Structure 1
């Protein structure tokens, strides 16, 4: 990334977080604190993307369930018997 594309922000860290950053730079794992923060943000972006995909999957499953028709009341014993019968059919 070009330096002209960078934006400077001020962030607050706990002493432990600041120490972790310093140690990572001093040990050579990262070139700078900024590099660590950018790496952490990339991981956060990936996690958020996965979270959005999971929410979309759950919404789709919910919508499909709602569109599948009226539900029914069933006791735990009846449900268990039905599941066992289904498992026997599959082998």
Structure 2
């Protein structure tokens, strides 16, 4: 596989190697991909936790009511009371 990097990224990789933490460009890229994968997994967990919390809050909020989109928008943006259909 051949990858073309911008001069800024090449310089960053060279800095990481010069620091002594990484022995090669491959090691820098490997660690970056591991960190990226971990960050994406963490975001997925955060999204799942947020969705679960939103669901639980919705269930706890009481019986659903039907409203039209204009009324819902006015409620969210301006605090207008929700009107049942």
Q: Same fold (TM over 0.5)?
A: yes
Query: What value does the CA root-mean-square deviation take over the aligned residues?
Result: 2.1
Structure 2 residue 41 is matched with structure 1 residue 34: no
Alpha-carbon shift at residue 52 of structure 1 (Å): 0.7
Which residue in 2 is equivalent to 1:53?
A: 45
Alpha-carbon shift at residue 39 of structure 1 (Å): 0.5
Alpha-carbon shift at residue 70 of structure 1 (Å): 4.2
Tell me which of 10, 16, 19 is aligned to 1:18.
10
Q: What is the TM-score when the length of structure 2 is the normalising length? A: 0.64
Distance in 2, Cα, partners of 1:27 & 1:70 = 60
Residues paired across the two proteins, number: 65
Distance in 2, Cα, partners of 1:34 & 1:18 = 12
Gaps of 5+ in 2: 65-74, 80-85
Query: Greater relative contact order (Cα 8 A, min sep 6): structure 1 or 2?
Result: 2
Gaps of 5+ in 1: 1-8, 77-91
